[in-house]
Amino acid sequence: MSILASSVLSGDRLSLARLLTCVENDVSEGREALDVLFTYTGKAHLIGITGAPGTGKSSLVNQIALSFRKLGKKVAIVAVDPSSPFTGGAVLGDRVRMRDLSGDPGVFIRSMASRGSLGGLAQATAGVVQVFDAAGFDIILIETVGAGQSEVDIARLAHTTLVVEAPGLGDEIQAIKAGILEIADILVINKADHAGTDSTERALRSMLDLAHPVQKIFHHHGQQQTAQVEPRPTNNSESAKELWIPPILKTVAPEAIGLPELIEAIQSHAASLQKSGEWLIRERARLSAEFDLIIQQTLLDKFHAFVPASHIDEVMDSVQNRKLSPREAATAMINLGGI
Amino acid sequence: MSILASSVLSGDRLSLARLLTCVENDVSEGREALDVLFTYTGKAHLIGITGAPGTGKSSLVNQIALSFRKLGKKVAIVAVDPSSPFTGGAVLGDRVRMRDLSGDPGVFIRSMASRGSLGGLAQATAGVVQVFDAAGFDIILIETVGAGQSEVDIARLAHTTLVVEAPGLGDEIQAIKAGILEIADILVINKADHAGTDSTERALRSMLDLAHPVQKIFHHHGQQQTAQVEPRPTNNSESAKELWIPPILKTVAPEAIGLPELIEAIQSHAASLQKSGEWLIRERARLSAEFDLIIQQTLLDKFHAFVPASHIDEVMDSVQNRKLSPREAATAMINLGGI
């Protein structure tokens, strides 16, 4: 085992920070350590927190971290900001966090900004989460800023997904909710001391009824997965009684109102996943999606190693002159490469 | 040429709708027609409109469409909603649109929801845009709901990218802006009759100064591209005078306030791109990115055709048992496939 990997296992924070950077940058030292450390993963509870801007997610994530610290759990926070090519936003968030969580050796915060390519951020985040898992963090909070497809993909890394809403964020957000509700295990109306909380709750309740007809609940994680895994068929009728109905909880993060109930719901959800076998199904879907991403990236790397850039330039000239369509060009290149 | 492709070229709306569906679903009929129609593309002005929820983007897009119609242009609207696996949100948006634009044969609206896989939506959107381009639409408005990485990737399809803001949307949105500003050619403060417009303008102005130091303006579209193209080096010193500084415009969409100025800015931007050669550079980057996506997808398809699903299941069992890391499993599979 590399010195870096063993230092991380022994709890050294500097080594942990260094390894996270290696993994984020996808350098060989990080890849090798990840392969070694992978054996030690599979223990942490991964919790995704997503939702539209303006819902007070960061503040809520802080409070969740504090609550789990009081229960003696080690907590890692991975703050993912797909829209930011620099770390501006993430750094700002960290500064706010420092007030509550700084100096606590049981907490580690990592901000991740855009990797500039489709899939790159999801892959880097998966790696960072594995490092924290191997390093013995019990709870890993994966917070995404924004509410687009990449955020949904990242939220799918988690065992438990929290979708955070806030009262009175307007009509367009209502429309977005429809899609994002599908992935929610727990719905949180934060800023629940604001006007409009009741009507937000009513709206969520009716959308929830629409999004979660009973038969879909077992399958909703497998449904849209790029991975090849099918959800494990349930083989006893008792399972029907284990259905998880996403609860709607209300919080006011700065005053920690509603936090005990939220932590309880998170823990109940983990217990329910384990009882129904869904914990393993979600883990399998997550690992399969990661496998697919690596396959895709490796094949593309092989292609670029094989086909000279000058050939690609030439064929792209024909595309730009409308002599070949992009698909015809791609087919020609792949046949040329004999792949 | 297929009957479908020639009917689309002759302006038949039903054939157009059918081809769009084929392209969205990536069926062979769509692929073949796209290859044929590609020759006829390259004439439309692609305009991306992105920004956070609650900024009134859809209403603004309607007004932009109406304005271009008054100038005699044919207008297509592609409404992309990456967060919605069903079309709920998009359909809602369309209903609002119908009031202003329905019955006008010079307008065609298409809503696109999530394709369920990374890159799938970007690829489908690129295809739909090419169909509209070949079918003779002069202006193609590509509207994205949300503000994540996928939205940014889709906005990059355009020649001209509008980033829409609104006054008083809170701190978290400020953080998101930093990333999204990098791709803005024109900034629009919509809902400019609301309180806080001046402070939003000041904030945007200072972030803009940060995001657009003079030397970056030529390169900001190439910078983060997954494509292999380098921005064409400028070969005369005069180009320095052609720098496009993103203007900040104010609109109140429902009353069409600020629309003439916005249309003028969009047209000036197109003229500036053409004068500086950037129009071709952006087109090349767009086509290269599409080429890369197709290469990636084709290679993954070949992999799955080659490696039996049962082999993948077995190796994933070893991953779930922590005997192999996802990367080790992927390497083993690729070596097995002899690819």
Tokens 């890394």 sit at which residue?
A157
Please report, for chain A, the start and end positions of each structural domain, with discontinuous segments joined by +: 1-38, 41-276, 307-337
- What residues of chain B lie within 8 A of the CB of A117, using their CB? 226
Assigned token pair, A56? 């007070």
Nearest chain A CA: its distance from B104 CA (Å): 25
Kindly tell me if the per-residue pLDDT of B248 is higher than 90.
yes
Question: For domain A41-276, is the CATH number 3.40.50.300?
Answer: yes
User: Can you tell me the distance from the alpha carbon of A227 to that of A207, in angstroms, rounded to the nearest whole number?
Assistant: 27
Question: For domain B41-278, is the CATH number 2.30.30.60?
Answer: no
Sheet holding B139-144, edge to edge: B107-113, B75-81, B139-144, B45-51, B160-165, B186-189, B248-250
Query: Confidence class of residue A228 from pLDDT cuts 50, 70 and 90?
Result: very low
User: Can you tell me the distance from the alpha carbon of A232 to that of A236, in angstroms, rounded to the nearest whole number?
Assistant: 12
C-beta separation of B47 from B158 below 8 A: yes
**pLDDT digit string, tens, across residues A53-64:** 678 888 899 999
- What residues of chain A lie within 8 A of the CB of B58, using their CB? 172
- What residues of chain B lie within 8 A of the CB of A42, using their CB? 322
User: Can you tell me the distance from the alpha carbon of A142 to that of A157, in angstroms, rounded to the nearest whole number?
Assistant: 8
Kindly tell me if the per-residue pLDDT of A208 is higher than 60.
yes
**Residue pairs between chains A and B whose CB atoms are closer than 8 Å:** 268
Query: Confidence class of residue A302 from pLDDT cuts 50, 70 and 90?
Result: confident
User: Can you tell me the distance from the alpha carbon of A96 to that of A108, in angstroms, rounded to the nearest whole number?
Assistant: 14
User: Can you tell me the distance from the alpha carbon of B277 to that of B238, in angstroms, rounded to the nearest whole number?
Assistant: 12
Tell me which of A194-198, B148-152, B161-165 is least confident.
B148-152
User: Can you tell me the distance from the alpha carbon of A8 to that of A11, in angstroms, rounded to the nearest whole number?
Assistant: 5
- pTM for the full model? 0.71
- What residues of chain B lie within 8 A of the CB of A81, using their CB? 175-176, 179
| B112: Cβ contacts below 8 Å, ≥ 6 apart | B24, B78, B79, B80, B81, B90, B121, B124, B125, B128
**pLDDT digit string, tens, across residues A260-290:** 999 999 999 999 999 999 999 999 988 998 8
Give yes or no for B32 touching A (CB within 8 A).
no
- What residues of chain B lie within 8 A of the CB of A328, using their CB? 35
- What residues of chain B lie within 8 A of the CB of A119, using their CB? 118-119
CB-nearest partner of A86 from B178, B229, B283: B178
**pLDDT digit string, tens, across residues B30-69:** 999 999 999 999 999 999 998 776 788 888 999 999 999 9
Nearest chain B CA: its distance from A26 CA (Å): 12
Q: pLDDT value at position A233?
A: 41
| B103: Cβ contacts below 8 Å, ≥ 6 apart | none
Q: pLDDT value at position A54?
A: 74
User: Can you tell me the distance from the alpha carbon of B231 to that of B220, in angstroms, rounded to the nearest whole number?
Assistant: 9
Query: Confidence class of residue B221 from pLDDT cuts 50, 70 and 90?
Result: very low
CA distances from residue A14 to A108, A205, B299 in whole angstroms, order as listed = 11, 46, 39
Assigned token pair, A45? 């509870």
Q: Mutation test of the interface with chain A: which of B149, B157, B164, B339, choosing the one with the most A Cβ atoms within 10 A?
A: B149
Query: Confidence class of residue B186 from pLDDT cuts 50, 70 and 90?
Result: very high
Tokens 């990485």 sit at which residue?
B149
Contact B296 A300 (CB under 8 A): yes
Report the mean per-residue pLDDT for chain B: 80
User: Can you tell me the distance from the alpha carbon of B2 to that of B26, in angstroms, rounded to the nearest whole number?
Assistant: 17
Number of Cβ within 10 Å of residue B305's Cβ equals 9
- What residues of chain B lie within 8 A of the CB of A123, using their CB? none
Query: How many H-runs (helices) and E-runs (strands) does chain A carry?
Result: 13, 7
Q: pLDDT value at position B175?
A: 44
Residue of B nearest to A319 (CA): B287
Q: Mutation test of the interface with chain B: which of A95, A149, A151, A294, choosing the one with the most B Cβ atoms within 10 A?
A: A149
Assigned token pair, B256? 């069409």
As beta bridge partners, residue B78 has: B110, B142
**Amino acid sitting at position B15:** S
| A307: Cβ contacts below 8 Å, ≥ 6 apart | A333, A336, A337
Q: Which residue has the higher pLDDT, A237 or A285?
A: A285
Contact A42 B322 (CB under 8 A): yes
- What residues of chain B lie within 8 A of the CB of A281, using their CB? none
Kindly tell me if the per-residue pLDDT of A256 is higher than 60.
yes
CA distances from residue A126 to A80, A156, A228, A283 in whole angstroms, order as listed = 11, 10, 18, 12
Report the mean per-residue pLDDT for chain A: 80
Nearest chain A CA: its distance from B310 CA (Å): 11
- Alpha carbon of residue B258 to chain centroid: 24
Nearest chain A CA: its distance from B118 CA (Å): 7
Q: pLDDT value at position A226?
A: 34
Kindly tell me if the per-residue pLDDT of A241 is higher than 70.
no
SS3 B280: helix
Q: Mutation test of the interface with chain B: which of A325, A328, A331, A333, choosing the one with the most B Cβ atoms within 10 A?
A: A325
Q: pLDDT value at position A178?
A: 55
Query: What is the average per-residue pLDDT within B18-23?
Result: 93
CB-nearest partner of B148 from A117, A149, A179: A149
Kindly tell me if the per-residue pLDDT of A224 is higher than 50.
no
Contact B114 A179 (CB under 8 A): yes
Contact B302 A339 (CB under 8 A): yes
CB-nearest partner of A118 from B118, B294, B322: B118
Q: Per mean pLDDT, which of A150-154, B42-46, B151-155, B193-197 is the most reliable?
A: B42-46
Kindly tell me if the per-residue pLDDT of A12 is higher than 60.
yes
**Amino acid sitting at position A125:** T
Contact B330 A291 (CB under 8 A): yes
Give yes or no for A226 touching B (CB within 8 A).
yes
**Which chain A residues in 91-150 lie under 8 Å from chain B, judged by CB atoms?**
92-93, 113-114, 116-119, 121-122, 145-150
Tell me which of A118-122, B55-59, B92-96, B245-249 is least confident.
B92-96
